[in-house]
Amino acid sequence: MKFVDEFRDPELITRTAAEIRRLADPQRLYRLMEVCGGHTHAIYRFGLKDLLPENIELVHGPGCPVCVLPMGRIDDGLAIASDPNVIFTAFGDMMRVPGAHGSPLQHKARGVDIRIVYSPADALKMAQANPSRHVMFFAIGFETTAPSTALTLMRARALGLRNFSIFSNHVTIIPAMRAILDSPDMRIDAFIGPGHVSTVIGCRPYEWIAANEHKPVVVSGFEPLDILQSIVMILRQLNEGCAEVENQYRRVVPWEGNRAALKAIDEVFKLRSYFEWRGMGFISQSALAVRESYAEWDAEQIFPTSGLRVTDPKAAQCGEVLKGVLKPSQCKLFGKECTPEMPVGALMVSSEGACAACYTYERRRHYLVSAGA
């Protein structure tokens, strides 16, 4: 398959891994953060860490939108769903995310009308098919998914559809990267930049990281060779003492981003002054709220919610894992109280969550090794 087979070519991967070993200075420790949860998943899935020398450490970043959503937002969304006239819709990976009183799936089992959709447009169609009910879409994601939510609201307004709204939990990646760089317990040498978000925002928004923080950023694709090539590009920069933004994922990411998608976001959304990120606290200007001009389709304005802050269970160490301070398996609950079947934290829910990826692939590998396969 084009753009898959050549990026999984064993010979090229072996050669690129050898180049990484040649470039890595044995006297130095390299800490590279993969910002995107899709990269975390690919790194575990393809066992890429096994191809790297020990002094290259991959640190998982905050780029899984389900994982960074604080519990209070889930509770607020579910409070809206408790209105018998409301149909709560969300993507499937939201369904098992725990709130203080259970996940959306557990609420569904208690009789709340909660349905999985594959896109906000599906939720809009549901509203058209159920004119006597109110369909609320629990919108989540970075700049990658915000354009489709924005276009759906523009469509709802064009149709004059009044029984549809969104509960916006869209977040933006750059303020989170700034918060990581400002964090005192964080030492990152470079970023493997998020490929999906960058298809929308382009590469320019990372330039301050290279210019002001002197950290290389290489926007990367998601196949094994993409990630290994990105590491080669980063090592070359670090060895030469330079810091630039480079685009390894040129086959998908335009340097200037997607202007039409950015325009749609700007039409419908404005920046919130601050927003809570699970494990990272409040980050200013890091999330999107619906503009006043679309207030009639804004669930937060239609259904007042408590907005209460809900803390994670005390033993859960999601915050430390999200900030890259701990590895998933170092959390006290990992694989015991917290598993993909019975998640305590959101990082164990989404396939892009570091804990879920680690649990799925590392445990399988240990099983195969111990079985002599």
User: Which stretches within 82-187 are classed as H helix?
Assistant: 104-109, 120-129, 146-159, 173-182
Beta bridge partners of 192: 34, 218
Which is nearer to ligand SF4, 216 or 324 (by Cβ)?
324
Shortest reach from residue 96's CB to ligand SF4, in Å: 11
Q: Does 262 help bind ligand SF4 (rule: CB under 6 A)? A: no
* Options 153, 192, 238, 321; binder of ligand SF4; rule CB under 6 A: 321
Which is nearer to ligand SF4, 96 or 107 (by Cβ)?
96
Q: How far apart are CA 253 and CA 150, in angstroms?
A: 21
Shortest reach from residue 64's CB to ligand SF4, in Å: 11
Using an 8 Å Cβ cutoff, are 10 and 218 in contact?
A: no
> Residue 218 contacts by C-beta under 8 Å, 6 or more apart in sequence?
190, 191, 192, 193, 230, 233, 234, 237, 245, 246, 247, 248
Dihedral of CA atoms 311, 314, 318, 319 in degrees, nearest 10, equals 70
* Token couple for 76: 């607020």
* Token couple for 305: 């919610």
Which of helix, strand or coil describes residue 68?
A: helix
* Options 89, 149, 317, 350; binder of ligand SF4; rule CB under 6 A: 317
Q: Does 64 help bind ligand SF4 (rule: CB under 6 A)? A: no
User: Could you count the other beta carbons within 10 Å of the beta carbon of residue 370?
Assistant: 8
Which is nearer to ligand SF4, 64 or 153 (by Cβ)?
64
Q: Does 59 help bind ligand SF4 (rule: CB under 6 A)? A: no
Shortest reach from residue 70's CB to ligand SF4, in Å: 13
Shortest reach from residue 166's CB to ligand SF4, in Å: 27
* Options 338, 350, 352, 357; binder of ligand SF4; rule CB under 6 A: 338
* Segment holding 78, helix H or strand E: helix 71-81
Shortest reach from residue 352's CB to ligand SF4, in Å: 12
Which of helix, strand or coil describes residue 310?
A: coil
Which of 25, 59, 33, 23 shows the shortest CA–CA distance to 209?
33
* Options 334, 350, 352, 357; binder of ligand SF4; rule CB under 6 A: 334
Q: Does 243 help bind ligand SF4 (rule: CB under 6 A)? A: no
Q: Does 277 help bind ligand SF4 (rule: CB under 6 A)? A: no
User: Could you count the other beta carbons within 10 Å of the beta carbon of residue 265?
Assistant: 21
Q: Does 348 help bind ligand SF4 (rule: CB under 6 A)? A: yes
* Token couple for 118: 């594959």
Q: Does 227 help bind ligand SF4 (rule: CB under 6 A)? A: no
Which is nearer to ligand SF4, 81 or 344 (by Cβ)?
344
Whether the CA torsion 252, 119, 291, 78 is positive or negative: it is negative
User: What single-letter DSSP state applies at residue 48?
Assistant: G
Q: Does 171 help bind ligand SF4 (rule: CB under 6 A)? A: no
* Options 347, 350, 352, 357; binder of ligand SF4; rule CB under 6 A: 347
* Options 56, 228, 316, 357; binder of ligand SF4; rule CB under 6 A: 316
Q: How far apart are CA 146 and CA 66, in angstroms?
A: 14
Shortest reach from residue 32's CB to ligand SF4, in Å: 21
Contacts with ligand SF4 by CB under 6 A lie at 316-318, 321, 328, 331, 333-334, 338, 344-345, 347-348, 355
